[in-house]
Structure 1
């Protein structure tokens, strides 16, 4: 029996210590998995996900817990097994004008983009091994728009609304046959 939890919301991280702790490929992968799925996992289960030993993964889970990003979940059995869960449904970074926080934010963003662009490159390197259906459904787009800051906020909110019903943690029980997890990368920023 699992403990009822309130609906989780995303958090904004502005503390440079938290950003530096999170700017590690294994920790980013752990957080992505736990926050996007709502899963409750052991260090051993997580180890396969991040390609590390269970003891190294346990260390990373404890480090994430120090900063309140994950927590121990109620035991699933006899209490000997240590299970972990995310404390948030996602996170964003920023909001500080301090140089130390801005440097930590940049390091975290660099780690995040490096990880995700590696996955993007991997897909395009192996896409020819995928079914025609998945190749044709996948997309890489780039568009230029002319928007005010208010219009850009409106576009971003509309994109969030379109994607929300398809989030991994919200699709339980209604997943269509043949469905797979799909990464969506979306960035909006002014270019001069």
Structure 2
């Protein structure tokens, strides 16, 4: 099982109960949609699954490893297998499409190459191929601020795919 969500619960400090008993499992190759009205806890679940928010009860297992109680190194290793497409895309508006896709590589890079923006020819070629794959080959050098909402979403998809994720999470993917 790639992902197991077992009785996950989340309550915020203001006593808002966002999740009460979320449970499901996802195998390799599965597509799962979480639907519900605004305020139902979909984004909260998304943030718990990508590790940016902790749950208050239950368990998240990724490939059998308890994500919530894993040590920092193991937790980070799990997070590198998860691709994330945010509802607001989380792109750098003044950067080009290529630069935004390459930003996915920053966590794996040494300090100096990351600061200098030296990604190497292979990574640049892969970023360009992913932009082509999402229909934006002609926008490689275009600043993201000049794109439509749908084009920005495709840049965010290419950026997530740049990580070669085993698990891809998308918050409001068809908004």
**TM-score interval, normalised by the smaller of the two chains:** under 0.3
**Structure with the largest fraction of strand:** 2
TM-score, normalization: structure 1?
A: 0.23
**Structure with the largest fraction of helix:** 1
Q: Which has the larger radius of gyration?
A: 1
